[in-house]
Amino acid sequence: MNPHQHEVENTRVRVRCPECRSHFHERVYRIASGERVVCPSCRCEMRYYGVGYIHEHESVAAYLHHVEERTNHPHYSRD
């Protein structure tokens, strides 16, 4: 377990909606755990898969960059 995991869980990252292409912020723990994320503009629901967890990365900054990169080019499953 990475010692920074608890500080990262409540951090918000920038997410891009694949439907309307707007950006919004969401908590990392919701994205990493595969919970439903709803775009505040168009109400599109998505779940992100393959984002991973912080213990797979060297630093907090590297992990947050990885999450934002994945959510800007989403691999998601619509519900």
Boundaries of every domain in the chain: 5-77
Is-above-0.95 flag for pTM?
no
DSSP 27: E
Question: Tens digits of per-residue pLDDT, 35-64?
Answer: 899 999 999 998 887 777 776 777 888 888
Residue 23, phi-psi category: left (phi > 0), alpha (psi -120 to 50), beta (remainder): beta
Residues contacting residue 5 through CB under 8 Å, at least 6 positions apart: 53, 54, 55
